[in-house]
A = this chain, B = another copy of it.
Amino acid sequence: MAPAGRPGAKKGILERLESGEVVIGDGSFLITLEKRGYVKAGLWTPEAVIEHPDAVRQLHMEFLRAGSNVMQTFTFSASEDNMESKWEDVNAAACDLAREVAGKGDALVAGGICQTSVYKYHKDEARIKKLFRLQLEVFVQKNVDFLIAEVSLHVEEAVGCGSLKESDRPVAVTMCIGPEGDMHDVTPGECAVRLVKAGASIVGVNCRFGPETSLKTMKLMKEGLERAGLKAYLMVQPLGFHTPDCGKEGFVDLPEYPFGLEPRVATRWDIQKYAREAYNLGVRYIGGCCGFEPYHIRAIAEELAPERGFLPQASEKHGSWGSGLDMHTKPWVRARARREYWENLLPASGRPFCPSLSKPDD
């Protein structure tokens, strides 16, 4: 199977899902650009789209090459505090960058809205609503292909979905929840039902929990929808970190957040396993969130290449299941050039003084 782009005119997100295609999301912007030097941890804001557009474009390009079908705009969220003057400029520029790169391959542009500020819960609801509407205006003006709202709290989610429908674009809504449900103890199944009733065409989870945990949540969402007799496309964009020890509010409470998460980073093989399980569960929009590097996205695209019929461009530079090692001078390294080896590897941390799990703070 030769690496290849997907030729022809672009289908919309719902057409793709309707026809059974796998849509591959993109990965981590905030955490990845923090490590590259363009985002400040704590603030987590996207002014880099103006200050350092090359860096943002480059990351979009890497995800596109890795197989992403969606370029999510790297935008200020509606409730962002330090938005003032440059807020509109940043959001507009983010749309342009996403569109520019999307045009180089088979990718759509998704306007990304995160209604809940990570660091400050904003009391001034009127102001938020106004900004929210302004943000939608930018997205409509810049003609994004669809919208992704990432929400965590129950009340806002309904409001958000209602407003988003006015944009006359397909709406995906994902929640930052784990199997235990949202902050008001609404189960994932019930959450999914409410999201669909509020107008979301695609529902799922993003961020806060690792791949395995997020798939458990997706299973509960799927079952909830089935019980309610509702239909929606499923979408999952988990952390690129292993978090079996998370509490209800996810990785933010882990002592390693955000500057000591390295030992938890998933391998490409972990992600291939995740992609396969997501697919088997019926999820067709499969991507990642914080910690998902371009090679993780490529791992999704490689795992699902048999179903999709093609490999992503970046597979030009990647031998499937370690096959690039088959010429190594050392026979024991050559012996790693096979699927069974990497599927069964239990990678050591190199940190014998560290535990394998943490207790979440609170």
Q: Which residues of A contact B (CB under 8 A)?
A: 34-43, 54-55, 58, 61-62, 65-66, 119-121, 210, 241-245, 252-269, 293-295, 298, 313-314, 316-319, 322-330, 332-333, 335-337, 342, 345-359, 361-362
Contact (Cβ within 8 A) B119 A332: no
Contact (Cβ within 8 A) A350 B263: yes
Question: Cα distance A178–B333 when bound, in Å?
Answer: 20
Question: Cα distance A74–B261 when bound, in Å?
Answer: 29
Contact (Cβ within 8 A) B262 A350: no
Instruction: Give the residue among A38, A43, A323, A346 with the most B Cβ atoms within 10 A.
Output: A346
A268 to chain B, nearest CB (A): 6
Question: Cα distance A361–B358 when bound, in Å?
Answer: 23
Question: Cα distance A317–B54 when bound, in Å?
Answer: 16
Instruction: Give the residue among A265, A295, A328, A356 with the most B Cβ atoms within 10 A.
Output: A356
Copies of this chain per assembly: 4
Contact (Cβ within 8 A) A324 B43: yes
With A293-B35, A350-B357, A355-B354 as given contacts, are A260 and B267 in contact (CB-CB < 8 Å)? yes
Task: Return chain B residues, CB-CB under 8 Å to A252.
Answer: 330, 333
9 contacts between A and B (CB under 8 A): A36-B62, A37-B298, A40-B316, A253-B332, A258-B325, A263-B264, A353-B357, A353-B358, A356-B356
Task: Return chain B residues, CB-CB under 8 Å to A42.
Answer: 319, 323-328, 337
A104 to chain B, nearest CB (A): 12
Task: Return chain B residues, CB-CB under 8 Å to A62.
Answer: 36-37, 55
Question: Cα distance A62–B39 when bound, in Å?
Answer: 12
Contact (Cβ within 8 A) B43 A54: no
Task: Return chain B residues, CB-CB under 8 Å to A210.
Answer: 350
Question: Cα distance A258–B319 when bound, in Å?
Answer: 12
A125 to chain B, nearest CB (A): 17
Task: Return chain B residues, CB-CB under 8 Å to A361.
Answer: 332-333, 335
Contact (Cβ within 8 A) A349 B263: yes
Question: Cα distance A318–B352 when bound, in Å?
Answer: 29
Contact (Cβ within 8 A) A265 B267: no
Question: Cα distance A242–B263 when bound, in Å?
Answer: 10
Contact (Cβ within 8 A) B242 A322: no
- Contact with A352, one of B269, B337, B342, B352 (Cβ below 8 angstroms): B352
Question: Cα distance A263–B352 when bound, in Å?
Answer: 12
Contact (Cβ within 8 A) A349 B356: yes
